[in-house]
Every structure is written in structure tokens, then in C-alpha cells.
């Protein structure tokens, strides 16, 4: 048997199997059987629970830091490892960004020490706070673009980890 004949037989066999599967019933459910109970949804934490309080504080800190760091990120982007700190736009946004990071790091650290807060939530908050402090120090000593990017990427990973921890606790940090 040659290769062409083998391919044709294989194609016919696959078409036959496809036709059989297409004609088969898609579901064989019995209509008078009640659906299985899913169970109650987990209750959302109270508005004044430690996780709710801390996650809201962290969310506010994150928003504040992001909105004020953004101008510096745009002003300093595009030069590879070189950042023109003599540029007035870079210089001004650097001051604003550092100030916001300092305040946000303090707020995030305070949120992480909320009494009764689970370590699963407080640990990434503390890591974020420390990395925010590192980023503001890198900005203050006029660090290069690569160091800024690496530190900001690690900071973003900590923010993501904190948001996931808050979401798992039922109190999303948005």
C-alpha cells in the first residue's frame, strides 16, 4: 500500500469517527434528578475585620504611589540605563515620586501591622513597603534605568502578591 492510499484511509476513518461523535447525544442527564448542592458561599469578612481594614489601607497606598510615581517613570523612560536627572521634568517628578513612595511605604507598613492580620496578607505588604523604600532610595541617589526597572518590577510583584492574598481572604485590594 502506498503512502497516498494510507492517508486516504486515515482521513476516511477520522471522518467516520467524527460523524459518529457528532451524531451521539451530547448529554445523557436525567431530567428529574435534582442538581447537586454547591454549598453556601464563604461569607465575606466584615467591613471592620483586620483583613478588610488592612487591604483597604494598602489599596489606598498603592493607588497613591502609582499615580505619583507614574510621571517619573514616563519622564525617565527610554534612555536605557541612562536617566537624565538634570532634566527639569525628571527632577520634579523624581521629588514627587519619592515623596509619594515614602508616604505609601509608611501606610502599607502600618496596614501590615494591623492587629489580628494574617501573616499571609501582612508578609507581602511588608515586602512591598520595603521595596518601595528601596525604590525611593534608588531614585534619591540617581540610580540607572536598569536598577529602577528591576526594583519597580519587584515592587509590582509584591503588589500583585498582596492583592492576591487580600482576594483570597475575601477582601480584594483594588
Q: How is the chain split into domains, by residue range?
A: 50-168
> What is the structure's pLDDT at 80?
83
Q: How far apart are CA 172 and CA 76, in angstroms?
A: 32
Tens-place pLDDT, residues 36-86: 444 444 445 556 899 999 999 999 999 999 999 999 999 998 878 899 999
Tens-place pLDDT, residues 105-156: 999 999 999 999 999 999 999 999 999 999 999 999 999 999 999 999 999 9
Q: Are 155 and 141 in contact (CB under 8 A)?
A: no
Q: Are 165 and 124 in contact (CB under 8 A)?
A: yes
Cut 0.85: pTM above it: no
The residue-averaged pLDDT of 19-42 equals 44
Amino acid at each position: 500500500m502506498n503512502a497516498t492510499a494510507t492517508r486516504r484511509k486515515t482521513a476516511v476513518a477520522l471522518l467516520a469517527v467524527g460523524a459518529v461523535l457528532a451524531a451521539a447525544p451530547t448529554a445523557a442527564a436525567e431530567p428529574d434528578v435534582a442538581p447537586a448542592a454547591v454549598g453556601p458561599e464563604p461569607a465575606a469578612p466584615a467591613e471592620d475585620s483586620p483583613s478588610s481594614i488592612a487591604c483597604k489601607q494598602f489599596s489606598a497606598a498603592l493607588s497613591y504611589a502609582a499615580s505619583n510615581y507614574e510621571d517619573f517613570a514616563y519622564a525617565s523612560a527610554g534612555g536605557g540605563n541612562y536617566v537624565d536627572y538634570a532634566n527639569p521634568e525628571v527632577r520634579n517628578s523624581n521629588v514627587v515620586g519619592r515623596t509619594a513612595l515614602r508616604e505609601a511605604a509608611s501606610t502599607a507598613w502600618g496596614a501590615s501591622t494591623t492587629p489580628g492580620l494574617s501573616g499571609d496578607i501582612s508578609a507581602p505588604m511588608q515586602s512591598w513597603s520595603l521595596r518601595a523604600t528601596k525604590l525611593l532610595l534608588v531614585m534619591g541617589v540617581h540610580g540607572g534605568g536598569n536598577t529602577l526597572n528591576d526594583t519597580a518590577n519587584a515592587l509590582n510583584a509584591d503588589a500583585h502578591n498582596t492583592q492576591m492574598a487580600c482576594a483570597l481572604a475575601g477582601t480584594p485590594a483594588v
